Amino acid sequence: MKRRMVYTAGVAMAVSALTVMLVTGVFCKPGNGGVFGNGNASPLRSDSVTADTVKTQEAFRKVYELNKESVVYISTEQTVRKQRNPFMDDPFFKDFFPQEMQQKRTQKVTGLGTGFIISDDGYICTNYHVVAGVEKVKVKVVNDIYSADIIGFDERTDIALLKIKANSKLKPVYFGNSDNVSVGDWAIAIGNPFGLNSSFTVGVVSATGRRDLDLMGDSQTHIQTDASINPGNSGGPLLNIYGEVIGINRMIYSQSGGNIGIGFAIPVNTAKSVLDQLRQHKKIKRGYIGVQIAPLTEEIASQLGLQNTEGALVGQIVSDSPSEKGGIIPGDVILSVNGKQVKNYGDLVSVVENTPVGETLKLEVWRNKGRVSLYIKVAERP
């Protein structure tokens, strides 16, 4: 069966109304005086094993309380061109259509998503695809609704920065460290799936460093989680058990459009550098060193004296680039950058692109069956 990637804001769908069907039953007055049920307290309330589980429950409640005023509801509006009925151009059938239908060629389409507050003066993080191409953005913070400006966005990482003018200081989220996230960690999502405001779901981190999930290329990594994420969750925070943001919920694998337990979030460490640049420059200035990478096969690794295929094999050097000036030559294998191991091409691209222009990187390369240290000053990608 073919898998399908769904961007969880439901970008392509028009959100006109949300119909909630409730199946009602018999409502009983709580208390011990009713006819039904055991009037005594459950014996599990005094069970030691259950008591330990209740501590986890309390931790979840604290995570929600910590973030409930920081996660926001985003609604958007845009004008789209309606597909014209081909019969309207037919001289015979044209008169069967009302005049206003023939003249009205556009319609308003609304969308929804999630965001979270990252500064007390009104900066908000969300996904780019939540606000892509829209004309109006409204942000609901608790019970207050504000018009938002799109300060900047980065399509490559799918991150957008919004700004609202609030009546008072807002409550920003706490940032965690996505580099420390491990498989099995608690993963908590807060968002607005299908317009259901402030929904709280819990799961675990299923994988880290997932690559090649869409057209963003192999340098974009994601955190995978089974915490329930659905259309409307896009742009909301993925939290750890301490209530810290470790990722931005972005998309799911799904055949139906609904959650099947495979969701993906942008690591918050990636987002932080992007958001800072968007605030300063309204665009992203990506780092560049000017190397072209070749496949590092087991045969080539053996010939070079390497024990495995980890690293980035330099195939060519761009003329007059930072790499040429810094002494990198074709045939070098880049093993680490600033002490961080480079396992493949994606690791190298990720580090270089997220390094501020003008900073110097320390590269450890494999050359002539030995390690060599080089220093490369990062330039802006042409």
Point out the residues that are catalytic: 129, 158, 234
Give Dmax (Cα) for the chain. 86
Q: Give the length of the chain.
A: 382
Backbone angles phi, psi at 352, to 5 degrees: -65, -45
- Grouping H, G, I as helix, E, B as strand and the rest as coil, residue 87 is helix
Other beta carbons within 10 angstroms of residue 330's beta carbon come to: 12
Structure tokens at 148: 């938002």
- Interatomic CA distance for residues 361 and 378, integer angstroms: 7
> What are the Cα distances from residue 50, in Å, to 63, 64, 185, 187, 201?
20, 21, 21, 22, 21
For residue 332, which amino acid is it? D
Structure tokens at 165: 């003018």
Do residues 262 and 224 make contact, with C-beta atoms less than 8 angstroms apart?
Answer: yes
Dihedral sign for Cα 156, 140, 72, 20, please: negative
Chain-centre distance of CA 18, in angstroms? Answer: 25
- Interatomic CA distance for residues 171 and 159, integer angstroms: 20
- Interatomic CA distance for residues 258 and 21, integer angstroms: 18
What is the per-residue DSSP string for 124-184?
A: EEE-HHHHTT-SEEEEEETTEEEE-EEEEEETTTTEEEEE---SS---PPEE--GGG--TT
Do residues 188 and 202 make contact, with C-beta atoms less than 8 angstroms apart?
Answer: yes
Q: Which helix (H) or strand (E) holds 238?
A: strand 237-239
Q: Which helix (H) or strand (E) holds 350?
A: helix 345-353
